[in-house]
A and B are shown apart, each in its own frame.
Chain A
């Protein structure tokens, strides 16, 4: 096995980073929606 095999392909690496970023962003947006919903309920009460 050569050292070349250990270096990840930049395109593959970028796809992996983009996917994980999208997941985190999605979770943050979901958490924000839940928070706004909870604030609205508290304010209405």
Chain B
């Protein structure tokens, strides 16, 4: 038997980039930018760019810390086994240090360049995702997604605060919309990948409470999302373009959620088409809702 001396490969920069979950980051950048553009006060483009960069880098840091902590779990799931850590392309300590550096750097830059209120909320969102959600809630409670959804709801709030330096009812409404959007978004995904979650022992709602309860909860949160999405219009923070768009989008969301909520799986061979449709539409929903908010604001500014 011959013994070979394996030369460990150096981690490629693309793997560091992958560690920041770029696809999630694109949604974070978009909602943060929309929160900033929907604010009544204008921010200098350089400072606006810096604020969005800090939000994106902070989200990237939190995602890196999430993958550092969950490397073993990721290895057990088909969807995540190709990530840099479970695939063995990166050292865990490097991933942790990279996450800490991005998180601390983004908060400091936000504080110095934009303001310390925005920086504190950014720090809170990173701790919320990396510690409260990843380390504390996700492995312990099937309600992990509900409370963890708060982490994804921070970007528009930070974008708004970066522009105005103030927290009002409007950014809180934007926060609440994403907070209530998150459970049906993730649970529809969890319904068709639940065997993966069960395998690694993550107590996702479909695994712990069963499919029927999950479908009922998806319907409940989608029903709550409809009036909630209209709050920016009702409090005068947005006009009729947003109001009508929100009503149409939320109704479509509710229709798809109802199909999922009242459905019973026909067996193991079920293709879970309604669940996949709801998951796909939920992403479009959030992009379209926030785009309508910005378009509405732009029309107001144009007079």
Please measure, in the bound complex, the distance between the C-alpha atom of A18 and the C-alpha atom of B300, giving whole angstroms. Answer: 51
Please measure, in the bound complex, the distance between the C-alpha atom of A18 and the C-alpha atom of B13, giving whole angstroms. Answer: 9
Q: How far is the CB of A22 from chain B (nearest CB, A)?
A: 9
**Selected contact of A17 from candidates B6, B12, B46, B113, CB within 8 Å:** B12
Report whether A21 and B46 are in contact in the complex, using a CB–CB cutoff of 8 Å: no
Please measure, in the bound complex, the distance between the C-alpha atom of A25 and the C-alpha atom of B113, giving whole angstroms. Answer: 22
**Selected contact of B9 from candidates A17, A20, A24, A41, CB within 8 Å:** A17
Given contacts A39-B46, A39-B50, contact A14 B10 (CB under 8 A): yes
Report whether A11 and B47 are in contact in the complex, using a CB–CB cutoff of 8 Å: no
Q: Give 1 or 0 for each of B9-32: 1 = CB within 8 Å of chain A CB.
A: 111110000000000000000000
Is A29 among interface residues, defined by CB-CB distance under 8 A? Answer: no
Report whether B9 and A42 are in contact in the complex, using a CB–CB cutoff of 8 Å: no
Report whether A13 and B13 are in contact in the complex, using a CB–CB cutoff of 8 Å: no
Given contacts A10-B7, A14-B7, A42-B44, contact A20 B12 (CB under 8 A): yes
Number of chain A residues whose Cβ lies closer than 8 Å to a Cβ of chain B? 16
Please measure, in the bound complex, the distance between the C-alpha atom of A5 and the C-alpha atom of B12, giving whole angstroms. Answer: 22
Could you tell me which residues of chain A, from 6 to 45, have a CB within 8 Å of some CB in chain B? Answer: 10-11, 13-14, 17-18, 20-21, 24-25, 35, 38-39, 41-43
User: Which of A13, A14, A17, A20 lies at the interface centre, i.e. has the most chain B CB atoms within 10 A of its CB?
Assistant: A17
Q: How far is the CB of B279 from chain A (nearest CB, A)?
A: 33
Report whether A10 and B47 are in contact in the complex, using a CB–CB cutoff of 8 Å: no
| CB neighbours of B6 from chain A (8 A) | 10
Mostly, the A contact residues are helix
**Selected contact of B50 from candidates A21, A25, A35, CB within 8 Å:** A35
Nearest opposing residue in chain B for A10, CB measure: B7
Q: How far is the CB of A29 from chain B (nearest CB, A)?
A: 12
**Selected contact of B10 from candidates A17, A25, A38, CB within 8 Å:** A17
| CB neighbours of B47 from chain A (8 A) | 39, 42
| CB neighbours of A14 from chain B (8 A) | 7, 9-10
Could you tell me which residues of chain B, from 29 to 84, have a CB within 8 Å of some CB in chain A? Answer: 44, 46-47, 50, 53
**Selected contact of B46 from candidates A10, A13, A25, A42, CB within 8 Å:** A42
Q: How far is the CB of B25 from chain A (nearest CB, A)?
A: 16
Please measure, in the bound complex, the distance between the C-alpha atom of A18 and the C-alpha atom of B9, giving whole angstroms. Answer: 10
Q: How far is the CB of B118 from chain A (nearest CB, A)?
A: 14
Report whether B13 and A24 are in contact in the complex, using a CB–CB cutoff of 8 Å: yes
Please measure, in the bound complex, the distance between the C-alpha atom of A38 and the C-alpha atom of B50, giving whole angstroms. Answer: 10
Report whether A10 and B13 are in contact in the complex, using a CB–CB cutoff of 8 Å: no
Binding site for B on A (CB under 8 A): 10-11, 13-14, 17-18, 20-21, 24-25, 35, 38-39, 41-43
Question: 22 A-B contacts, Cβ less than 8 Å apart?
Answer: A10-B6, A10-B7, A11-B7, A13-B9, A14-B9, A14-B10, A17-B9, A17-B13, A18-B10, A20-B12, A20-B13, A21-B10, A21-B11, A21-B13, A24-B13, A25-B13, A35-B50, A38-B46, A39-B46, A42-B44, A42-B47, A43-B113
The 6 closest A-B pairs by CB, nearest first: A10-B7, A24-B13, A17-B10, A21-B13, A14-B10, A38-B46
